[in-house]
Amino acid sequence: MRLLPCTASAVLLAALSAAHADSSIQLYGIADLGLVTTDHGNPADPNGAANVTPLPTSAVTYNPATAPNGKTEARVSSLINGGLSPSRWGIKGSEDLGDGLAAVFTLESPINVAAGTVPNVRLSVANSQANTPYATQEGSFDGQLFARESTVGLRSKALGELRFGRQQTVMADALGQFDINSGYMDPLVYNGGYNGGGFTAEARWDNAIKYGVDLNENFRVQLMYRLGGVSGSMNTRNAEGATLYFTSGPLKLAAAYVNDHDAQLASGSTQLAAGSLPSNPTYTNTLKLTFANTYAYALLGAYQLNDDWSFKGGWEQIHTENPFNPAYNQSIGSMSGVSVTQWSVTAYTNPRNENMYWLGASYAFVPGWKANLGYYQRNTNRYGANAAAATMSDTSNAKYYVGELIHSLSKRTDLYGLVTESDVNGPVWAGYKAHTLSLAVGMRHVF
């Protein structure tokens, strides 16, 4: 009598196994947390993706009675989320449909491990205003559960892969492969270069279609298009991009391009609304949105000299000008659960042009130990309503020196030490600390 239930269970398990023999589902992720100290920073913000910002930030006015000149200038020590790799968790799967074709999906969420939260950087931006201690920078994680990726698609060995949904841009894909450093100590993360100067939120596109295919053993191409989804307009909020890769032995090269209509940049809204009386309070805890059309071009290269030495570098130019559809942009009343009270659609009377250069080397000097060192420079022309007489002397620049020392305890667990030194000057960086030094030690676990 006891054999019947066991036999039935065995048959059921066998049937389930057979039903799922051609499909797979994987739970995966990264938990990366470090201890950082930075000489000019702001308090840790649980809504931020990194928890603290180790790179230059504009000084925030808060507690004027005690802060010198109403500005934060003190050292900050805290936990940094994603010192080497942004923390995340996800579920991905595939099903074999036969003839080399598979159905695929990915659902991937960011995590602020230091605070146990899903990052909402636009809520953080809204809070980083007068008389509040926080300072943050725009990012692509705005409270969505699956902010990193939410896609479904098809994959073919012969025809490539087609994905639909929220996903990383082809420019962000490319830059990540040609940067020797990584994580939130890396200036490319905060450069906005993933899709436009300062418009870091556009590193990922909703309503997007991405296609990638290997043309032959040397060439691969990626194409991407975002549907605007705006009634009556085919051009508002649409975007497109393309990347061509070339690989030959130890050499890898890439050329990338993206064009983004009505890109969105959020900042704290602290000015009085038009028509307000002077006695009315400012719009604290709300957003000001700046809109622009952005264009970015990149040439990238990497070389694997041997098992110990590798080199990566690149150049990116970002052009930013006034948006395509100001009327629609100014109709947006809320974003990421935060009220919008101000809009800017004419911020670029003179277009903004930026050039970003970087070069890095990696050296595996003993088994289990690796050192990465990178140099980055970002040059920005003077732009905006008062930039009619812009000259080379008006160019602002930022220089960054980033080092990583990584010790692999296993294939899944790393210990690391990080250093980032940055120097900024020029009108674009007015209000920022001219020099910032950040040091961190931490641990990354991949599961």
Backbone angles phi, psi at 62, to 5 degrees: -160, 150
Q: Is the pTM of this model over 0.75?
A: yes
Give the whole-angstrom CA distance, residue 311 versus residue 94: 34
Per-range mean pLDDT, top range of 115-119, 345-349, 404-408: 404-408
| Burial grade of 297 (CB within 10 A; 0-12, 13-18, 19 or more) | middle
Q: Does residue 104 have a pLDDT over 60?
A: yes
Question: What percentage of residues in the chain have a pLDDT greater than 90?
Answer: 57
Q: Which amino acid is at 188?
A: L
CATH class (in words) of the domain with range 23-446: mainly beta
H-helix or E-strand containing 403? strand 396-408
Bridge partners of residue 380, in order along the sequence: 354, 396
Q: What confidence score (pLDDT) does residue 17 get?
A: 47
Give the E-state strand segments of 269-337 in sequence order: 287-304, 309-321, 334-335
pLDDT at 270: 61
Instruction: Check pLDDT > 60 for residue 103.
Output: yes
Mean pLDDT (the chain) is: 85
Q: Hey, what are 416's tokens?
A: 């690391």
Span 362-388, pLDDT tens digits: 999 999 999 999 999 999 887 765 545
Residue range 383-395: average pLDDT?
A: 58
Residue 11 has pLDDT above 60, yes or no: no
In this predicted structure, what is the pLDDT of residue 219? 98
Is residue 77 within 8 Å of 35, Cβ to Cβ?
A: yes
**How many CA atoms lie within 13 Å of 54's alpha carbon, on the beta-carbon side?**
33
What are 167-204's pLDDT values in tens digits?
A: 999 999 999 999 999 998 888 876 656 555 568 888 99
pLDDT value at residue 263? 92
Q: What is the pLDDT of residues 341-364, one digit of tens each?
A: 888 898 777 888 889 999 999 999
d(CA 215, CA 431): 48
Predicted local confidence at residue 78, as pLDDT: 93
Per-residue pLDDT at 56 exceeds 70? yes
* pLDDT top residue among 232 and 400: 400
Q: Tell me, what's the pLDDT at 68?
A: 45
pLDDT digits (tens, 9 = 90+) for 277-319: 333 455 667 888 889 999 999 999 999 999 999 999 999 999 9
List strand residue ranges (DSSP E) for 215-286, in order.
Answer: 219-226, 239-248, 251-268
Confidence of residue 9 (pLDDT cuts 50, 70, 90): very low
The continuous run of DSSP H or E covering 328 comes out as: helix 326-329
**H/E stretch holding 103:** strand 101-110
The pLDDT > 70 percentage for the chain reads 81
Contact (CB, 8 A) for 292 and 199: yes
Reported confidence tier of residue 128, pLDDT bands at 50, 70, 90: low
Mean pLDDT on 425-443: 88
Q: Which residues touch 255 (CB under 8 Å, ≥6 apart)?
A: 243, 244, 297, 298, 299, 300
Q: How far is CA 161 from CA 68, 158, 306, in A?
A: 55, 9, 31
Residue boundaries of the structural domains of the chain: 23-446
